[in-house]
Amino acid sequence: MNTMPPVTKNLIIINILFFLATYVARGYGIDLNEYLALHFFKADNFNPAQLVTYMFMHGGFSHILFNMFALFMFGRVLEQVWGGKRFLLFYLVCGVGAGLIQELVQYIEFESLFAGYPKTHVRIPDGSTLLVGEYLNYWRTVGASGSVFGILLGFGMLFPNERIFIMFLPIPIKAKYFVIGYAVVELLMGLANNPGDNVAHFAHLGGMIFGFFLIVYWKKKGVMYWQGRGRNDNETTYFR
């Protein structure tokens, strides 16, 4: 931890503290997700601040483990290259962008369910009914995955030819192919809309999209530029 850049280290610590606080609060009958998770904007419990707070909440141990591992592996590289302030801005922009895309996707789902006729109550699986506003409170999104996917995209753009070893694959794969392949998988799974899939695939893609446009903007403004053919081919990357 002492060798980790400060922003990456503090982000990991904050995420872990929020994760632990979730379980401590649950012991006192308090559900922090009710306040800090990202709710659909038509839900009773929606608050604009949730576009930031949701990315520090997680749904389980495996969820936070994989997110923090990816943040550790790739985030520290970007922070070392960009510096702490720019990396933190990138992290937050990707997270907020992912949340906005998730809100858009949920709005499309909401219109498909409720458009065309007035409906004030919804019947839930246990047979009882809820007001629509209360029902929509269950549409909640948590996790740093949007920011993490933006970081993966950033790593792939800065170091496209860096080789990555992935569990279960016998050979390393270049970062650019890994990022493209992962994005395609997320898109296909999002379009499949499997009823049993509770992963916000389009939010992941939203983090990548916002990260892409921020990097392009920085490059256009002269904040960063590249020379060479790739990191493994004697590429030189300049930042100013």
Residue 83 in contact with residue 72, Cβ under 8 Å? no
Task: Provide the pLDDT for residue 128.
Answer: 57
Q: Are strands 129-131 and 121-123 parallel, antiparallel or unpaired?
A: antiparallel
Element (H, E) at 123: strand 121-123
DSSP 91-105: HHHHHHHHHHHHHHH
- What is the spatial distance between Cα 214 and Cα 195, in angstroms, rounded to a whole number? 33
3-state secondary structure of 194: coil
Task: Provide the pLDDT for residue 233.
Answer: 45
Q: What are phi and psi of 98, to 5 degrees?
A: -60, -40
Q: pTM, whole model, 2 decimals?
A: 0.84
Residue 15 in contact with residue 68, Cβ under 8 Å? yes
What pLDDT tens digit does each residue of the chain (240 aa) get?
567 899 999 999 999 999 999 999 999 999 999 999 999 998 888 999 999 999 999 988 999 999 999 999 899 999 999 999 999 999 999 999 999 999 999 888 877 766 655 556 555 555 556 666 677 788 899 999 999 999 999 999 998 888 887 766 678 888 888 888 888 888 888 887 776 667 888 899 999 999 999 999 998 887 664 433 344 444 444 443
